[in-house]
Structures are given as structure tokens and as C-alpha cells.
Amino acid sequence: MASAWGKHFGRGMFISYLEIYNNDGYDLLSREEHTAKLEDLPKVQLREDEDGNIHLRNLSVNMAQKEEDALNLLFLGDTNRVVAETPMNDVSTRSHCMFIMWVESTQANSDTVRRAKLHLVDLAGSERISKSGVEGDLQKEARYINLSLHYLEQVIVALHERSSGARHHVPYRNSMMTSVLRDSLGGNCKTVMVGTAAIEDRHLEESISTCRFAQRVAAIKNNATINEELDPALLIRRLKKEVAELKDELTLLNGDENAETLTDEDKKELRNLVQGYVVQQAVCKSQGLLAEFCKAVKW
């Protein structure tokens, strides 16, 4: 099915991997040789233009030509993630991560491009510091995690209230995570959340909190439409081709007007060629009749 689809569509896929640690962004797909520490990763800076579009400076964009390329980028980014051991979890992720995929397709003989973006977000789990008993850097990380999740919940509640007309402003700018996810929450998109809960009784409060959070996300209403736009390069290429075809047609139509006038010598040569051809055909025809006559007459 993929090969049949590829006959009619041109396509491209590009991938970025962003980590948000203590509300600072880092590029997990850095190609630098020494990235053993977090501070070695390029720090991503968030910029917003006059139209409200978010731009992420220093975040690399990597082409993936096949599924294997995308998985290799995912594994590469995972090796750079910040994890730590806590009293609640042997391997606890201490940051939020976003695996971002841009996909574009172009139908054959068309200058219209369809573009889509997919955010795969792995949220760090909320943590009750009084229960986990973490201190120092782990406590600082937990505070940032909880605060960013609180801001995300504020955005979700605001989106729900906006859909009912009770509110207009949505506080996306409160954190880097909500700023980046702006077009994946209340924009032209579809949102799906998967909540994970523990089965142990001692985690009952956290599990209930996760379910309530997922319930609020499910209340978001979006109207997603296909993103289509004209590709200037493809449009220019098509117009140039049409101009060339029109020039060829015009040359064909005006061929008699542009032809050079024959000289008397050219006309004489053409007349001799025509006469020679006629004589040759007449001789061949006479020889054919003679042969047929000889067959018919018995000597």
C-alpha cells in the first residue's frame, strides 16, 4: 500500500526531539561529540513572532526517509534524557519530552502541499514531595515538574471554558511546555492523552489525580482541518512548463509565417525530385503489370 501511495504522492518527514528540564529546553538530537552532560546539549530558545507563531531556536530538524531512521533518532534522543533514582521510582524521568514529527505530501502534477505536525509528549509524573521525601536537586526538579503540570492544567481548563463561551484568554505563555504545545491543544488539531496509573493502594491519590487530569483533557473540543497551501517552487515550475508548451504551440501555428522563402534554384531542385519520383513510380507500376501479363499468358 505504501508503494502504491508513493506513486501518486511526494512526501517528506522531519523530526526534532525537545526536552524541557526545569522549564529550559534542550535539543536531544545534538550531533556534537560530547553530550554526556545536560549542559553539553544545545539550549533551545523560544521566540514568538508578531503573528503569534512559536519558533524554537537551536532545535535541530532531522530528515527521516524511512521508519528505521525515525526510530534511530528516537533512541538517540532517549540516551540523552535526564533520569534519576527516587524513593518512588528507580528510573524517574525528571523532564518533559516532545518527539516532534513534521510530515508533508504533494500529489503528482499538483502544486498544493499538505503539511501536518505530530507531537508525541512524554510528561514527567506529578510528585508529592511530602510523600517522596526528595531533597536537593531532586526536590527542585519535582517543583518544576509539578508547576509545569499545573500550568498545563490551567490551559486545559481555560480551553474548556473558552469552548463554552465563558472565557477568551488562554494562558499559554506561563511555561515553555504550554507555549510549544499551543497548536496541539487549542489550535487546528486532534488531541489524544494516555494516562498511566499504578495499581498499588499507596499510589491511589496519584492515580485518581491522573484520571481527573485525563478527564479534563477529554473535554477539549477542536475542529481539525487539512493544512493545504501552495508551494511557490512547485507553482513556478508548473507555470514555466505551461509557458514553454504555449511557446511550442505558437511556433507550430506560425510556422508558415516564419519559414524562409524558397529561391528559384530550390524550386527547380524540388521540381526535379518530384518528377523523378513520379517517373520511378510509373516504371515500377509498368513492370508490375508486365509481370502479371506474363503470368496470365501461356506461351
Binned average pLDDT, 10 residues per bin, the chain of 299 residues: 43 89 88 64 85 86 90 88 56 80 78 82 76 71 84 85 78 89 78 83 83 82 65 70 78 63 81 80 63 53
Q: Give the per-residue pLDDT at 243.
A: 80
Specify the amino acid at residue 277: Y
Whether 105 contacts 11, CB under 8 Å: yes
Residue 56 sits in the same domain as residue 199:
yes
Specify the amino acid at residue 56: L
Task: Quote the domain boundaries for residue 79.
Answer: 2-232
Q: Which of 232, 256, 278 is the last residue of a domain?
A: 232
Residue 109 sits in the same domain as residue 38:
yes
In terms of Cβ atoms closer than 10 Å to its own Cβ (0-12, 13-18, 19+), residue 54 is middle
Residue 8 sits in the same domain as residue 129:
yes
40 grid coordinates: 553539553
Q: Give the per-residue pLDDT at 299.
A: 47
Residue 286 sits in the same domain as residue 193:
no
Q: Give the per-residue pLDDT at 131.
A: 66
Residue 274 sits in the same domain as residue 191:
no
pTM over 0.75: no
Residue 127 sits in the same domain as residue 268:
no
For residue 13, give the 3-state DSSP assignment. strand
Q: Give the per-residue pLDDT at 285.
A: 66
Residue 124 sits in the same domain as residue 150:
yes
Q: Give the per-residue pLDDT at 115.
A: 81
Residue 187 sits in the same domain as residue 288:
no
Q: Domains in the chain: how many in total?
A: 2
CATH classification of the domain holding 189: 3.40.850.10
Residue 142 sits in the same domain as residue 242:
no
Q: Give the per-residue pLDDT at 256.
A: 55
What lies within 8 Å, CB to CB, of 62 at 6+ separation is 14, 15, 16, 29, 73
Residue 69 sits in the same domain as residue 203:
yes
Residue 250 sits in the same domain as residue 217:
no
Question: How far is it, in rounded angstroms, from Cα 72 to Cα 15?
Answer: 11
Whether 155 contacts 31, CB under 8 Å: no
Q: Give the per-residue pLDDT at 6.
A: 45
Q: Give the per-residue pLDDT at 16.
A: 93
In terms of Cβ atoms closer than 10 Å to its own Cβ (0-12, 13-18, 19+), residue 181 is buried
Q: Which of 211, 232, 253 is the last residue of a domain?
A: 232
Q: Which of 115, 112, 116 has the alpha carbon at shortest distance from 232?
A: 112
Q: Give the per-residue pLDDT at 62.
A: 92
Q: Which of 232, 258, 283 is the last residue of a domain?
A: 232
Residue 179 sits in the same domain as residue 198:
yes
Residue with cell 477539549: 220
Question: How far is it, in rounded angstroms, from Cα 235 to Cα 246?
Answer: 17
Whether 43 contacts 49, CB under 8 Å: no
Whether 61 contacts 70, CB under 8 Å: no
